[in-house]
Chain A
Amino acid sequence: MTRFILKRLALLVPQLILVVVGAFLLLRLLPVDPVTQRVGIFATEEGRAAVKEELGLDASLGSQLGDFLGGIVRLDFGEAWTTGDPVFEEIAQRFPITLQLIILGFMVAIAIAIPVALYVASRPVGKADKGTTVYALFAGAQPDFWWGLFFVYIFFFILGWFPAPLGLLDIHLIPPNGPTKFVLIDSLLDWDIEVFVSVLKHLALPVITLAFVLTGPILKIMRQAAMDVHASDYLLYAQAGGSPRQLRRRIIFRNALAPTLTVTGILFGFALGGAVIIETVFSLQGMGRYSLDRTLSVDFPAIQAAVSVMAAFVLFIYLLLDVMYAVLDPRVRYGEPG
């Protein structure tokens, strides 16, 4: 197992470098001129040169890339062009907001999808099975921004159960300044129940929106995987050998979970990029909004850092899932084809 993890870690390093260099080159290859963006088209040559130097764009591409890569090792992404603040600190503020949202969304989606999938897989072709299949197909093909607004209309405007979609906290509350930067956890650490409850209420609708969309694909793959196990020879063998029901349930669960994990990992990467939409609907200042706002203001250091951090995180999630997969399915560990 240790060998497997080490081998997998060794693969991560070139992947990370590729992604970071890719993010850097992408910005330099696109036909956009950040200098003109700042000084306009009527600026003098001297003015342009001064701005170019100030932005660090006068250096050669190689040395710019070198600076960027060298900075990353020291957790220094340079200063943002729009604010002049260190990009690392800006991202450290924003990333937990997005992560908190997505992790909660996945927790809810998985908590619903897996038991439902296991249930309907044991009773295929029933009404419940048909219903969930249609739902899975439907939810996987929905505009999450519109459902977010729709939920706001129902649960805020009509029913008044949840607060307006304006950030994470009621306006009179002071956000906790804790060590984890996850407001939900930090408010608990401070034992500030009022803040905790307020955050929970504000997060409810964005999390429901996310879970509504995510449950579809997770349900679909888990149901299919569980049905495959039901139809498998090894389960038949276990049944013929008189294994207790409990054990057979465990076999189904474990074997169906492995492919589900893979799909969940891909979905996680997608959700991280797509967070910008939910963040827009609910006025959350997470990574999605950060990437969008800084792209609109052509802030190269911020954009390349944001993209690198998100892509690196997704690669890390893939690694984690591969390890979990190997725990669930020993064949992977020993290099046999799955």
Chain B
Amino acid sequence: MSVEPGEYGAVGDAADMGGERSGDAPLPPAGMGAQVKELLRRSWLVRIGLFLVAVAVLLAIVGPYLARFPLEEATPNANLPPSTTYWFGTDPNGFDVFSRVLAAPRIDVAIALVATAIAFFIGSAIGLLTGYYRGWPGEFVMRIADLIQSFPLYVLAIIIVVLTGRNFQNIVLVIALLNIPIYVRLVRSQVLSLRERTFVEAGKAAGTTDLNIAVRHVLPNGLSPALAQVPITIGFAILITAGLSFIGAGVRPPTPEWGVMVASGAESIIIGEWWISFFPGVAISLTVFGFAVVGEALRAVFLREV
């Protein structure tokens, strides 16, 4: 596959933004490791993005242990502004906003990571199979993918989560379902062009089995766009989880979850109690932005490598 410079969105833009050098210098043709290093050296934005992602993943692991107050124990100290005791203030239940903001990635980031992993593996597998073995089953799968994607995404998510039960598992499955078609398409289109290449013919001539060619030779060559999509899906999954919870169709309060927390402050914002929604919102904003930047940078690396 040949990629014209500039064909793919902001290829290289992430690398160029804020760099000390002018943006037209291409990444070195060396291995991927060297490219990543060069990208990090050149762009402050990519450094920030990676930092934000690292913090989010770290908090998903240790966040709940950093709590300064019990996470789900109501206290009479409701709606207090930020102070030296309550760094981010308290919410209408008297919860400490700071503790809950740090604990929430255990839900938000975990849902996003698991859902993305499922979407990536199932989507890529379907994409590989339908791309490599053409025929009506592949066409049928693509029409199902079309159908899923023609529904209004949020509404579909609301219906499935609310009617099957608002819990971790169902939210993960819905987000995975909504993203599977994206991976099917990305991998399938790669495989469709790769299967005509000489190395496939060579494999066949050498007597390698079809499945072997598909999995060991075609798939690794066709996976780059799907891999570059992974951080974008993670960020998007965090947005969907928080959005669903915000409107009352996702995680149930009082679970410490960013969308739930923004919602708990939505009413008091018109009387000026900004801190209840503000801090969890900033957390969502920075985390999703971090994943978006890393996705953009991955694209720059992968698509030049292909």
Name A's B-contacting residues (CB within 8 A): 15, 18-19, 22-23, 26-27, 30-32, 124-125, 130, 133-134, 136-138, 140-147, 149-150, 152-153, 156-157, 164-165, 220-221, 224, 227-228, 231, 269-270, 272-274, 276-277, 280-281, 288, 291-292, 295-296, 298, 303, 306-307, 310-311, 314-315
CB distance from B286 to the nearest CB of A (A): 10
Docked CA distance A150–B275 (Å): 10
Residues of the A chain whose Cβ atoms lie less than 8 Å from the Cβ of B242: 143, 145
Binds A, one of B58-66, B92-100, B148-156, B206-214: B148-156
Q: For B259, what are the chain A residues with a Cβ–Cβ distance below 8 Å?
A: 143, 145
Q: Are B281 and A137 in contact (CB under 8 A)?
A: no
Shortest CB–CB separation between residue A240 and chain B, in angstroms? 21
The residues of A that contact B162 with a CB separation of less than 8 Å are 295-296
- Which DSSP category, helix, strand, loop or mixed, fits chain B's interface? helix
Give the contacting residue for B153; candidates A22, A138, A156, A274; CB below 8 A: A274
Question: 23 pairs across A/B with beta carbons < 8 Å?
Answer: A18-B143, A23-B151, A27-B163, A30-B159, A141-B239, A141-B288, A141-B289, A143-B259, A143-B281, A143-B284, A147-B281, A149-B265, A149-B266, A149-B277, A153-B278, A221-B9, A224-B9, A269-B152, A277-B243, A277-B247, A280-B247, A295-B158, A314-B150
Evaluate contact between B154 and A288: CB separation under 8 angstroms.
Answer: yes
Q: Which residues of B contact A (CB under 8 A)?
A: 5-7, 9-10, 13-14, 16-18, 22-24, 45, 143, 146-147, 150-156, 158-160, 162-164, 235-236, 239, 242-243, 246-249, 259, 262, 265-266, 269-272, 274, 277-278, 280-281, 284-285, 288-289, 291-293, 296
Report whether over half of chain A's contact residues are helix, strand or loop; otherwise say mixed.
Answer: helix
Q: Is the CB of B154 within 8 A of A276?
A: yes
Please name all residues of chain B whose beta carbon is closer than 8 Å to the beta carbon of A314 when the two chains form the complex: 150, 152
Residue contact A152 to B269, C-beta cutoff 8 Å: yes
Contact of A125 among B16, B247, B284, B288 (CB under 8 A): B16
Minimum Cβ distance to chain A for residue B174 (Å): 11
